[in-house]
Amino acid sequence: MRVVVSIGGSVLAPDLEPDRVAAHAGVVDELVADGHEVAVVVGGGDVARRYIGTARALGATEYDLDAVGIDVTRLNARLLLTALESSAIPEPAEDPETARASLRRGETVVMGGTVPGHTTDAVSALLAETVAADLLVYATSVPGVYSADPNEDDGAERHDRLTPSELVDTIASIEITAGSNAPVDLLAAKVIERSGLRAVVLDGTDPERVADAVAGEDVDGTGVVPDE
Ligand code: UTP
């Protein structure tokens, strides 16, 4: 199976703890050893937010703040690359085309952000589209997509299964509420919809859940399954 795994920065390296990075790399190596083609997109997490906060206070433009964020995602990508044992791309890929070429050479791909204006959620969906992935796994810090932001709304309920267009509607209604955080951003949901991608959104703080999702096991999370 060709798999794109999106690992949030707050899941991969919240504390820059090497064991945690190694555990995520171990799961990627395990998937490769099982015969899967794997491309990983790494986010920036709290470290990126802190850098962005400082740069904003110093007067940086939004475009330049995005560039700061991208740099942090690529730093995190380098950490994961360092911990990988399988044959991998030598440097974090800077765009989906480079990632695709690398995957075709049989290398495991790791990348961070690409260009300003979106997040690694969207990069992951665009990469999954570019390489025609069989599955896109979002390893986030929340166990799935809820009807509302569970941090803001006690009545929020998790969706076990959504179609891509239901995903778009759900994310759009969460994003419209100021201050709410959706586990996957709207651009990513739109890309999933237009290409009919199969996706899973799960709590990736235990990296083994990613392996379980690829193995087709019933994981705690939200499955996004296109209509036949
Ligand atoms: P993240 O993908 O980690 O952002 O990229 P996020 O979704 O806000 O973080 P999480 O999921 O809560 O951890 C960090 C920042 O880098 C910039 C954006 O500013 C983003 O917020 N970025 C990232 C880009 O501009 N382009 C990219 O392709 C990726």
- pLDDT tens figures, 43-79: 999 999 999 999 999 999 999 999 999 999 999 999 9
Task: Please check whether residue 131 is in contact with residue 99, taking contact to mean a CB–CB distance below 8 angstroms.
Answer: yes
- CA-nearest of 144, 154, 136 to 196 is 136
Average pLDDT of the segment spanning 70-89: 97
Task: Please check whether residue 167 is in contact with residue 184, taking contact to mean a CB–CB distance below 8 angstroms.
Answer: yes
Could you tell me the CATH superfamily of domain 2-224? Acetylglutamate kinase-like (3.40.1160.10)
pLDDT over 90 at 152, yes or no: no
Distance CA(63)–CA(48), nearest Å, equals 14
Nearest CA to ligand 1 atom 16: 69
Rounded distance from Cα 34 to ligand 1 centre (Å): 30
Q: For residue 153, with 0-12 CB atoms within 10 Å meaning exposed, 13-18 middle and 19 or more buried, which class applies? A: middle
Q: Is 73 in the pocket of ligand 1 (CB under 6 A)?
A: yes
Q: What is the predicted pLDDT for the residue at 148?
A: 84
Distance CA(141)–CA(127), nearest Å, equals 21
Rounded distance from Cα 178 to ligand 1 centre (Å): 18
Q: Which helix (H) or strand (E) holds 137?
A: strand 135-140
One-letter amino acid for residue 168 of the chain: V
Average pLDDT of the segment spanning 31-50: 97
Instruction: Find where tokens 């939200």 sit.
Output: 222
Rounded distance from Cα 71 to ligand 1 centre (Å): 10
Nearest CA to ligand 1 atom 23: 119
- CA-nearest of 80, 16, 4 to 47 is 16
Nearest CA to ligand 1 atom 9: 45
pLDDT tier at 180, thresholds 50, 70, 90: low
Q: What is the predicted pLDDT for the residue at 174?
A: 86
pLDDT over 90 at 151, yes or no: no
Q: What is the predicted pLDDT for the residue at 107?
A: 98
